[in-house]
Chain A
Amino acid sequence: SQTIHQWPATLVQPVGSPLSLECTVEGTSNPNLYWYRQAAGRGLQLLFYSVGIGQISSEVPQNLSASRPQDRQFILSSKKLLLSDSGFYLCAWSPQGFVKEKLFFGSGTQLSVL
């Protein structure tokens, strides 16, 4: 069966520090991968999605970047965090060819930038 791992679960970082959040998927090949951000009490905002290795689409301009160095690995990064980067970050995947079908989410990372 397929599983998605996302870590860390919580992270407290000072303003100006770098960020690296990692997400890996097991049990499937060539998945579509997504990074979402959720502000407190709000809906999800799509940040990046990828349909293959090295293929990254950015939905909103921001202080963040994403990379997909391996088929089932998706990394969210920042060189210098801002206060506004605080939020709940969720990684998700969907089967290849089904970018708008059922998404499977990781357990999320609560990021606090102080």
Chain B
Amino acid sequence: SQQGEEDPQALSIQEGENATMNCSYKTSINNLQWYRQNSGRGLVHLILIRSNEREKHSGRLRVTLDTSKKSSSLLITASRAADTASYFCATAKTGANNLFFGTGTRLTVIP
């Protein structure tokens, strides 16, 4: 499969803790993106990291990319109850015209 795979499938943490989600993929990519989905809603783009970048920050989000290991991680610092959602990685495969989404990590932040 060309899809990314997120790990863990589900994560439950206390408010204020950090949450780390991982994504592995199988092919060479142009970029990797992370999206968030609240239950029953559409996805919202969080951050994009290109294949020549190793780390990127956006607010409380930190994304890393290791192309040699074909993996990425999303770190949410100082989590809030409002961060409760499913998080998906999406890879833009070299030569393809679309994004391939993983199966997601369901994050629950307990107040």
Contacts and interface: CB of A to CB of B under 8 A. Distances in A.
Interface string A18-37: 00000000000000001010
Q: Give chain B's interface secondary structure class.
A: strand
A88 B104 CA distance: 15
- Which DSSP category, helix, strand, loop or mixed, fits chain A's interface? strand
Contact of A110 (B33, B40, B97, B98): B40
Contact of A101 (B31, B88, B104): B31
Interface in A69-114: 88, 90, 92, 99-108, 110
B18 interface: no
A43 B101 contact: yes
Given A44-B101, A57-B97, A107 B88 contact: no
A99 B31 CA distance: 12
Interface of A: 6, 34, 36, 41-46, 49, 51, 57, 59, 88, 90, 92, 99-108, 110
